[in-house]
Chain A
Amino acid sequence: MAINLTRRNFLKTASIAAAGIPLSKVVAKAETGIAKAPLIPPGSFKDTKTVTGGICEMCFWRCQLVGKVRGDRLVKLEGNPKSIDNGQNLCARGNSGIKLVYDPDRLKYPMKNIGKRGAPKWQKISWDEALNICADKLQATIDKYGPKGIAVWYHGASSHYPNAYFDYLGVPNKYEPAFYQCRGQTAMAMMQTLGFVTNEDVDMPNSKAMLLVGCHIGENIHLSHVKNFLKGLENGSKVVVVDPRFSAAAAKAHIWVQIKPGTDTAFLLGLMNYMFDKGIYNKPFAEKYCLGLNRLKKHVAEWTIEKTATECDIPAKQIVEVAELLAKNAPNVSIHPGRHAAWYGNDFQRVRANACLTALLGAMDCPGGIVRIKRMSSGHVHWPEVDHKEDPEEMALAEYEEKYPFRPPGTPPELMRDTMISGKPYPIKSLIVWGTNSIKTMPRQERTEKALANMDFILVTDVTPTDITMWADILLPEASYLERYDHIEKGTQWNQGDKPQQFLSARMPLIDPMFERKDPVWMINELARRMGHGKDIPVKNQEEFVNHLLKETGLTIAKLRKLDGIYIQPGESPYLKKGEEPVFETDSGKIELYSEAMEDEDFPPLPTYTKTAEPPKGFARMIYGRSPVHTFNRTANNAWLVREIPENPLWINDESAKKMGLKDGDRVFLENQDGKKSVSSTVVKTTPGIRKDCVFIAHGFGTFNPAMTVGYHKGIDDNELNTKINREGETGISGMRINFVRVVKDGKVIDIPA
């Protein structure tokens, strides 16, 4: 028993001893003589000021938010009460933004790699030194190879101003994963067929039925989009989800079509054939506005209910049920265009089939259908026009090699990477990576690493030390989306059935950046000065940049501040008025079920199904998707989000798992068809909610960079197992769901039974 006990301490000792707290600790504390009071958090609403003008970029849906700031510290983020889009709501990621801002692993200073690429040793350097090196190296590349010697990989709002400068430099090859590993086909095939990019502007709240093909709303949380989906459910819309997996959306669906992976196009063709056969499609609409109706009818005739059922491995009666449901409720049906489409390498054709089905139902410009949402417009910043010796548009690799005529903006990444490795048709020797983790986005990592090794110079700019930063020569720390001005967000009230309104908001910082983090306008202007382009700088700073973008709206940063960050004006309904004719900006002015342009380029002019390879014996197809609290790998180091979902459980059919001797929570690695084994592991989740021929993991896990201390090696990186790709001729986009895996547990390889 310790001595020197006062009565008070002794009483306390007695009670604490009862609670099993070590006595020694208590006594030692009491002896310090310093009275400690509990630090009880007062709540974000006490003694804080509300700062408006935030626009989220934890994902790219960009909800409008406000910050609660105590002193100079951001304590909480909330939806902007004035928002007609997300309102006061934010998702888990939106709420976790402050953990990104204050992440101790964040990049703080400009750094120079004095180690090796991929195994860096960092030396803190000044901005002046960093920018001088960048200017010298980029200029050396331009002097030797021309601007085509530089490649740019980018993503996110912070890359807008830099891209304008790279255009001015004449850089022909740029790539954004948002198109080439995500929604490129969705945009381009819709445009080719309907004459406009649909985005995901589909009027679910006012639909009577919805069809989601491989689209997992609920795991993919885009806030107002999820609100639209739920409103549709609330209003009694019947939901059909087509997915090999019982996804979050499937769990809320009325009909779950547990389709065999890769056969979605056949399913869509089967639906159309049934509608033609029974004459239940929207004839007045289709006959008036579609080109190639009879040719499509003949083309899909082979897809009988029986053949479709066999190909898709689903009950025949389910196809009938879905077709009848959609036809009965046409045109007020939401045929969701989908988002991520880079699945099998035959995806342009699948999205075309989706567009054709939409057209057959006339599900456009009306309640429940695809709608053309009328948003305000804002401007762009351009550097002065320069005559380049080589026209950047002609030098862009796909154009130069006359490939991929229906590609989205930019150069197909694997084409660029091939050139970086081979030097053909011309050398690319410098790489700028702005805000994208290409290690996790581009399939075939070994090729990416080879390309990186071949560069004379690599500049990477980011907020956190993502995997790709390990390959940087110079690494620049960027202010986060809560610490800078840039993006202009435009939209409408979230439910198109409500009173039409339009809003516009500009991103304004909620707090100042800490350490030596800088905004991209400052970085690019300083770089431009050092490259001798000071006189051509179009805007002096980030505030001027945003005011310039706002010019045509008559708004300014100052005006928006007075409006609590959001300007709202009356809008226009996206539904056609009585007697109003729809406009289709295709070559023919009609919806092109049959596309002459595609025929001219030697692609199937009618949506065509191509079989995808089957899994080899012992393997299952690896399908990947979203985790509801993560945005790819961008949130991998966010302590709050990792707390919610730390890794990506491997979904495996429960009967298969039983045969394999696997149970929930078992720790496993994956090995693919090429013998590539995952670097890190994950846990098993056995479920009847997935087919036996595939397994599922969420994308974006298994961070390689140890500098990401929270996310390092958590879960499995699906992308490292994407060693095989199928590059599609129409777009140059690579399908990735053609990789197959089996399980490795305790060092033993376990086959997955068919």
Chain B
Amino acid sequence: MQYGMIINLDRCVGCHACAVACRAEWEVPVEFARNWVHRLGPANTPHGLAATYYPGLCNHCTHPACVEVCPADTEMVTFKDAKSGKTKTMEVAATWKDPFNGTVQIDKKRCIGCGACVDACPYGARYVNPDLADDDSDGKADKCTYCMPRVEAGLQPACVQTCLAEARIFGDLDDPDSEVSKYVKKGAVGLTSKNVQIGPNSRYFGNKKDMALLMTQAPQEMPEANSRRAMLAGLIKPARHQAKSLALAGIAGTLLVKSIQEKEKE
């Protein structure tokens, strides 16, 4: 199963209700957004004058760039398929891709608020919410969850429910009979480019001119920070495991901090 969302630009009128309903539902601070609408055009496209909208949200990518970079302690977590009841246990850091529904989620308790995942996302879908600060962090990474808590309670995602245009459709992209799959067959695509191919599962459908304008919003490069963060995350994880097991945390930590700080300066 892979949850996905279709946004039909032929229907979208750019009313921004999705963005605001999301903000209300999840009390998203006004400086951030899990769900946004960028107004595009009027501008010339190869297919004629166009004006449309980029209603954006987390793409719950098939190959998420944000998951690997998480430096938080890993834990063995058992996931359960809501339908079949099957379980799967995986070692995950504070953010992961759910093996059953394909959504990318965050464990706020374990998130250290470092922002590595924020930097890694080419779509700008994540932010660190300082309102969620605790003793272990100055805030927590946050983003669209495809409203999984609502979906589990039998509700539609907040943005889908409020959409007056019925421009947003939520469902299982792995189910060939779902409405979202039908849109994919009709040509709904994610915001990808030559160098950004991480399998976005929020997809857009529309006429040629609107899609041409929308595609100007596709990220052209993976974020630069990505490689650095990934390296740091790779470095810190085994080091910490080792430190714990050897009870030599002090020394290992000192070395680690020093080496990282030096790297940061570079």
Q: How far is the CA of A94 from the CA of B162 in the complex (A)?
A: 10
Q: What number of A-B contacts does a CB cutoff of 8 Å give?
A: 203
Q: List, in ascending order, chain B residues with CB within 8 A of A26's CB.
A: 138
In this complex, what residue of B is CB-closest to A690? B42
User: Would A88 and B162 count as touching, CB distance under 8 A?
Assistant: yes
Interface contact B149-A15, CB-CB below 8 Å: no
Q: Cβ of B44: which chain A residues have Cβ within 8 Å of it?
A: 688
Interface residues as binary, B111-136 with A (CB distance below 8 Å gives 1, 0 otherwise): 01111100000000000000111111
Q: Which single residue of chain A is at the shortest CB-CB distance from B42?
A: A689
B114→A21 contact, CB < 8 A: yes
Residues of the A chain whose Cβ atoms lie less than 8 Å from the Cβ of B23: 95, 640, 643
A21 to chain B, nearest CB (A): 6
Instruction: Tell whether A114 is near chain B: CB-to-CB under 8 Å.
Output: no
Q: Which of chain B's residues have a CB closer than 8 A to the CB of A233? A: 10
B21: interface (CB < 8 Å): yes
A42 to B153, CA, bound (A): 12
Q: Which of B81-89, B178-186, B187-195, B249-257 contacts A (4 or more CB under 8 A)?
A: B249-257
With contacts A11-B243, A251-B41, A629-B15 taken as known, whether A88 is within 8 angstroms of B161 at the C-beta atoms is yes
CA distance A223 to B166 in the complex (A): 12
The smallest beta-carbon distance between A85 and chain B, in angstroms, is 11
CA of A33 to CA of B246, assembled, Å:
27
- Chain B residues with CB under 8 Å of A36's CB are 133-135
Q: Are A223 and B164 in contact (CB under 8 A)?
A: yes
Query: Which of the segments A74-82, A410-418, A434-442 contacts the partner chain?
Result: A74-82
* Chain A binding surface, main DSSP class: mixed
Q: Answer whether residue B260 sits at the interface, using C-beta atoms and an 8 A cutoff.
A: yes
Chain A interface bracket (under 10, 10 to 19, 20 to 34, 35 or more) = 35 or more
> A15, A40, A234 — which one has the most chain B CB atoms within 10 A of its CB?
A15
Chain A residues with Cβ below 8 Å from B140 are 38
Taking a contact as CB atoms under 8 Å apart, the answer to whether B20 and A641 are in contact is yes
- Does chain A have a CB within 8 A of B208? no
Chain A 88-108 interface 0/1 with B at a Cβ cutoff of 8 Å (1 = within): 111110111010000000000
Q: Chain A residues with Cβ under 8 A from B261's Cβ?
A: 17
Is B63 at the interface (CB under 8 A from chain A)?
A: no
Asked if B162 contacts A689 (CB within 8 A), the reply is no
Q: How far is the CA of A10 from the CA of B240 in the complex (A)?
A: 11
User: Measured between C-beta atoms, what is the minimum distance from A4 to chain B in Å?
Assistant: 13
Contact between chains at A90 and B17 (CB < 8 Å): yes
Report chain A residues within 8 Å CB of B137. Answer: 16, 21, 38
Given contacts A11-B253, A639-B30, contact A251 B114 (CB under 8 A): no
CA distance A36 to B210 in the complex (A): 47
Q: What distance in Å separates the Cβ of B242 from its nearest Cβ neighbour in chain A? A: 12
CA of A70 to CA of B249, assembled, Å: 45
Nearest A residue to B36 by beta-carbon distance? A644
A19 neighbours in B (Cβ, 8 Å): 71, 112-116
Does A522 reach chain B (CB closer than 8 Å)? no
The answer to whether B24 touches A75, judged by C-beta atoms less than 8 angstroms apart, is yes
Q: Which residues of B, 8-57, contact A by the 8 Å Cβ criterion?
A: 10-11, 13-17, 19-21, 23-27, 30, 33, 37, 41-44, 49-52
Q: List 7 A-B contacts (CB under 8 A).
A: A14-B236, A25-B138, A37-B109, A94-B17, A234-B11, A250-B51, A644-B19
Can you list the 4 inter-chain pairs with the closest CB atoms, starting with the nearest?
A: A689-B42, A19-B114, A251-B51, A246-B42
A interface residues, Cβ below 8 angstroms from B: 7, 10-21, 25-26, 29-30, 34-46, 75-79, 86, 88-92, 94-96, 98, 217-218, 221, 223, 226-227, 230, 233-234, 246, 248, 250-252, 256, 628-629, 639-641, 643-645, 687-690
